[in-house]
Amino acid sequence: MVDLDSLIVRLETLFLDPHGLALPQGLGEEAFRTSLEELNTTLGSDYLLSGLQDASLTTLPDGCLSALIEGAAAVVLEAVLMHNQLSYSNLPANQPDIESWARYLRQERDRALDRLRLRAFSQSDALPWATWNLEDPSSYD
């Protein structure tokens, strides 16, 4: 089962920082909180992640993990950019490259969310549209 701690380890491995030397400690949790909120908003769902916001059970489907991780990675990159702009940093970061990387991750996350929404529509029993019945079709007032 996937939980917050295992996802933070995956994120730190993605950024080649398994010991947490370059990225601040609470950034991983905030990145996954933000990414999960964006995912829930886009999909119209209420998924939970064990270890995040007092959840003891993960309800997030495995198909959503890549979108969640890409969104969290983009949040981390944006936080690093903000840190470099607002304070002195010893992180060797080229701002245009990191901005491009963050934008790419956001686009990949958006594509994954679009695929998930389309899959949900195709597997749903409910219609994604409906006919509206007007009370008086001759009047628009």
Q: What is the pLDDT of residues 55-99, one digit of tens each?
A: 888 888 888 999 999 999 999 988 888 776 666 656 566 677 888
Rounded to the nearest 10°, the torsion over CA 80, 81, 86, 91 is: 60
Domain ranges across the chain: 4-117
Tokens of 57: 């059970």
Q: Nearest to residue 13, comparing CAs of 68, 73, 60?
A: 73
pLDDT for the residue 13: 86
The answer to whether the Cα torsion of 49, 68, 75, 80 is positive or negative is positive
For residues 135 and 87, the model is more confident at: 135
Q: Is the pLDDT of residue 107 over 80?
A: yes
Q: What is the pLDDT of residues 2-50, one digit of tens each?
A: 888 889 888 888 888 776 666 777 888 999 999 999 999 988 889 998 8
pLDDT for the residue 101: 87
Q: Which residues pair with 50 in a beta bridge?
A: 3
Indicate whether this model's pTM tops 0.85.
no
